[in-house]
Structure 1
Amino acid sequence: MRTRLTDLLGCHHPIVQAGMGYVAGAGLVAATSAAGGFGIVASATMTLDQLRATLERIRARTDAPFGVNIRADAPDAGERIDLLVRHQVRLASFALAPNRELIRRCADGGVLTMPSVGARRHAEKVAGWGVDAVLVQGGEGGGHTGPVPTTLLLPQVVDVVGVPVVAAGGFFDGRGLVAALAYGASGIAMGTRFLLTAESPVSPDVKRRYLAADVTGTVVTTRIDGVPHRVLRTPFVDALEHAGRVAALSRALRNAASFRHRSGLSWPALLRTGRATRRAGSLSWAQTLMAANTPALLHESMVEGNPAAGVMSAGQVTGLIDDVPTCAGLITRIMTEADARLAALTALR
């Protein structure tokens, strides 16, 4: 299937694997891209050296194009972009809107840019700065999310930007792909669906937690890092919801220390990152401090395999997923379903 997205990225199918922290590493990204989709490395939870090693491992497994997700407010964002240029990575994606300088730096090095947006005005802003594509995530999506559902947000954005639009939030099969194309998108991005694949490094126990959830099994909470975050509903998350302010800030301090140790950042570098995050998101200092919770609590579940003491970002679509296929099997199935749905729609005419 050829769309503006496949032409831009050089992939065979308009299916993007989202950059999920501690999940989207070399194995998952290489498997996705080798199967004709487009994998994105989650580098925000990696040191610069870990990212370099990840890029080398992907290149050893496939020559298919892939991307890397970068925190625009990271103190070493420029160094990471330089690394992408040296390794000829096709795309840099951003969860927070990149500034003009980062966009220019990517363009000068031949790296495409695709920020994630959750509002029409944000899409208009970054499109005006010269990005190559935008990823639109509706409220159904996992992780940090907004209140507007994909079916309302997507057409708003498609109508006001001239670059390819990737739809995210609520997609898991060929019917969803066709629906996104009907709205005017050029492809779809999926996080939870790719987390539940054979190549995902998440432990079997954590995957079973996702498979057991229904469509009401997630909750949007601000008690993890101060901003709306959709996660699986668990006793641990319920406890966070009812924790007092002092307990929440105390946990955030411990998690900040833990993240600093794993990331290799010095305390001054961590504080500079916090200041940049605060400015970029108009956060209070309490919210900025709580932001350290996210990588620490995700690490507990996704890496340590201990969902009872961590959080699991999840889209509502987890309630519709009941298997753990290979990436190749998943992409083939989605494209087969999409072809059948397109044929059925054509027959109506």
Structure 2
Amino acid sequence: MIPTTTRNRVHVLALGGTIAMTSAGDGGGVRPALDARALVAGVAGLSAVAEIDFDVVRPVPGAHLWLGDIQAVAERIGDLLEDGVDGVVVAQGTDTLEETAFALDLLCESDRPIVVTGAMRNPTMPGADGPANLLGAVRVAASEAASGLGTLVVMNDEIHAARFVRKRHTSRPSAFGGAGVGPIGWIAEERVRVPLHVGHRVHVVPLPGAEPPPVALVSVALGDDGRVLDRLADLGFAGVVLAAFGAGHLPERMVDAAARLAETMPVVLTSRTGAGEGFRGTYDFPGSEIDLLSKGLISGGALDSYKVRVLLSLALAAGWGTGRIAEAIERLSG
């Protein structure tokens, strides 16, 4: 075997999800069942990579998590790093894994590795990928190569930056990819390789006791007329992310509603395509990016709509105004 650089201590935080699900033997589907001890015990060779500690934070399917849960995970990670842990692995369901990873990237300022992983195939299936993904995640969290990169996602022996990773398939082990940029590294023969680094990081500190406020995500489709936008303030939303057409365009009938909304709360313009940077100065017609930005909407830059929603909710919990939110998006796009 080719040796790899390792750290001494890696802590595994288990949140549930497919990686921790198994059958109850009653003929039904799989459900959360494996605790952190069982997860770690089921991975051959894990103890040779690092000294492993573990505990359970919130053992639920990924679809049941809230941003407040991820704030609690970030606080737990902070305590672990303060106690001298060299890296942290978060194992959770893949339904919301990309959002959890990005939230942790914003909330955790340390340069020590924080790695999120999960599984696409549950332990009852042939080729279950949970053990391999957990081993890979621990290997990355124990590697000097992962220092200073922010939160990472390790799946299928690929290393992804939290701000770009997306779940692109419902079931394949290769479901996760970096939208527009690909992986920034990989694992091969126990080596952790990270030839690419992401740009500037942003740290968000919510105000003491502040809960992340609700932010609406509205995806635009052919023929939309904007009537839903006029209801969002009354429903208690504190901000809105628009997943618009192409490089950032809305139907003409939605423009006035979007402009009215931008007068009362932050409205961020992203693309429903999920990859590529939103334009700022190319198209100039009613509902184009030039028109919408002139009416007070904020450009989502190179972030996809899901990442912007996480950022906007945490930023509002931190008391940020629209100027600082726009600056953060620009920094994360660079």
Identify the TM-score tier after normalising by the shorter chain.
Answer: under 0.3
Larger relative contact order (C-alpha < 8 A, sep ≥ 6)? 1
Larger Rg: 2
Higher strand share: 2
More helix by share: 1
- TM-score under structure 1 length normalisation: 0.26
